[in-house]
Amino acid sequence: MAVLFACAHPREAAGFDSRCGAPLEIGVGCARAATSIARALASNAFDRVVLFGVAGAYRRAEIAPKSVVVVRKSVLADEGVETDAGFQSADELGLVTDGGWIDHGEGAARVAATELGARVVDAATVSRCSGTDALAAEIFARHGAAIETMESAAVAHACRASGVPLLEVRAISNYCGAREHGEWDVDGAVPIVHRAVTRLLDAGILEV
């Protein structure tokens, strides 16, 4: 099986399992991530994409920092329009027909989560991260997603368009909301997600 391992930022790539080769650093944000993945899938025959990295967790989702999660679906959480009456999503505006949600494949997510003893979660993909408690609460209330990332749904879109399955594993580096209370520890979360991917390799769930 040819597996493409990918992460957004060099901090997430440093120290990754050498058996996997150097992961593709796709860049932070939807445009960079989708373009990088689409280009890689167009030029190479991959059987699966494994997206790994860190993420923020919404406090009401009750996921502690340093926890590992596996994503089953993700939503483009801030695509739409902000009005005096509140936010209207692209789906509510009639611009998309999928509600903004992209299915990653729950079966594979559950197999991986069982091996890792991790939760299967939904992800909100944003271009404007939740740096205030009010915005974090708003996104959680609107979508019910447990974690916040800047790439998940974009990568899932590119994988779906190419017909390549996606598995996404994240370690929680912080809480979403006011940054001074976010309990940030990116450097502590990165080796945790690396160990999770290594465990999946050792269990034979990912073949390289």
In order of their start, the domains of the chain are: 22-79+87-199 (3.40.50.1580)
Residue-averaged pLDDT of the chain: 93
Predicted model pTM: 0.94
Q: Give the mean pLDDT of 44-62.
A: 96
Q: Report how far residue 145's alpha carbon sits from residue 101's, in angstroms, rounded to the nearest whole number.
A: 11
Q: Look at residue 207 in the predicted model and tell me its pLDDT.
A: 73
Both tokens assigned to 193 = 């997600």
Instruction: Give 208's pLDDT tier (boundaries 50, 70, 90).
Output: low
Q: Report how far residue 164's alpha carbon sits from residue 14's, in angstroms, rounded to the nearest whole number.
A: 25
Q: Look at residue 31 in the predicted model and tell me its pLDDT.
A: 95
Q: Give the mean pLDDT of 161-169.
A: 96
Mind listing the pLDDT tens digit for each residue in 58-116? 999 999 999 999 999 999 998 878 888 888 777 777 777 677 899 999 999 999 999 99
Q: What is the DSSP letter of 151?
A: S
Q: What are phi and psi of 93, to 5 degrees?
A: -80, -5
* Residue 168 clears pLDDT 80, i.e. is over it: yes
Q: What is the DSSP string of 10-24?
A: HHHHTT--GGG-SPE
